[in-house]
Structure 1
C-alpha cells in the first residue's frame, strides 16, 4: 500500500469562524452549503479549505492548542506573473489581510510577497518561473 499523492482538505484553526469566513468570502471564495456554524468549507481547485475553531481543532486532534504564533506552515497561491502577485496581494489587503512582506524579487529567482489572514495564517503569493501553471491554474512540477 502507498499513500495517494494529494491533499483533500486543509483545515485552519481560527479564533472566530464567522470572522474568518467573512474574510475569505471578501476574497471571493464561496462558502459551501455543507458548512455549519462551527465549521466553514470552501471548495478550491482540487482541494477544500476548512475553517474550524482553533480550540476545537486542537481538541479533535488531541493536542494542546497553545498560543497562536508561527507554526512553520504557509499556504501558497501561485500566479503567472509578478504583476499578478502585486494585484493579488493588494486585493487581499483590501479584503482585510495584513501585509507581512511586500512583493519583491526573491533569492530563488521568483517574485513573491506574504499576507496574513485574520488569524495570522501566512499566505505566500508567488510567481515562480520554474513552476508553470496549467490551463486550470495548477502548478506543474518538472519530472
Structure 2
C-alpha cells in the first residue's frame, strides 16, 4: 500500500538520492580555485555568489557560509551551523511540502518552513536527528532528468 500525502498523488516517501551538496565557505574565490586545482570544472550555471561543479550523478555547490546560514535561518557559528547542507531536489513545490512533512513525521526537526526563495525556487529545511541540515527544493531553472538527477551544463 502506497501512502499518499494531502497533496494528492504525491508519495510520502523520500527517494534515496542526494541532488546537490552545498559547502558553506569563507572565501568563494579561494575555494573555487582549490576545487579547480583538483581538476573539477566550474559549470556555466555558476554565478558571482555561487559556484556549481557537476560531479558524477550529483552537483557540488560552493556558497558563502554566512549567506548559507542566513538562507537556512540558523546562526553562523561552528556549534549552530556546520557549513554544510544536503539538498534533495524535487519536481514541484507541492513535493517540497510533502517531503518536508514526511521527514518531520519520521523524526526530523523543521528548521525553515518551505517558502518561495530569493533565487526563484521554492525550498525548506529540516534537520536530521544529529542536526545535519537538509534542504528540500524545487528549482525551476534546473529540472531533474529521467532518473531524478540534477544535471547542469559543463561550461
TM-score, with normalisation over the residues of structure 1? 0.53
1:1-143 equivalences in 2 (<5 Å)? 68-143=79-154
Distance 2:142 2:118 in 1: 15
What is the aligned-residue RMSD (CA, Å)?
2.4
Contact 1:82–1:111 (CA under 8 A) maintained in structure 2: yes
Answer with 67-76 or 112-121: which moved more.
67-76
Distance 1:108 1:83 in 2: 18
The answer for unaligned runs of 5 or more in structure 1 is 1-25, 30-45, 48-66
Distance 2:138 2:153 in 1: 16
Structure number with higher relative contact order (C-alpha < 8 Å, ≥ 6 residues apart): 2
Contact 1:131–1:139 (CA under 8 A) maintained in structure 2: yes
Report the CA distance between 1:28 and its aligned residue: 7.8
Aligned positions, number: 84
Distance 1:110 1:135 in 2: 20
The answer for unaligned runs of 5 or more in structure 2 is 1-12, 17-56, 59-77
Distance 1:106 1:115 in 2: 16
Cα deviation code 1:92-142 (max 9, x no counterpart): 000000000000000000000000000100000000001110011000213
TM-score, with normalisation over the residues of structure 2? 0.49
- Structure 1 match to 2:31: none
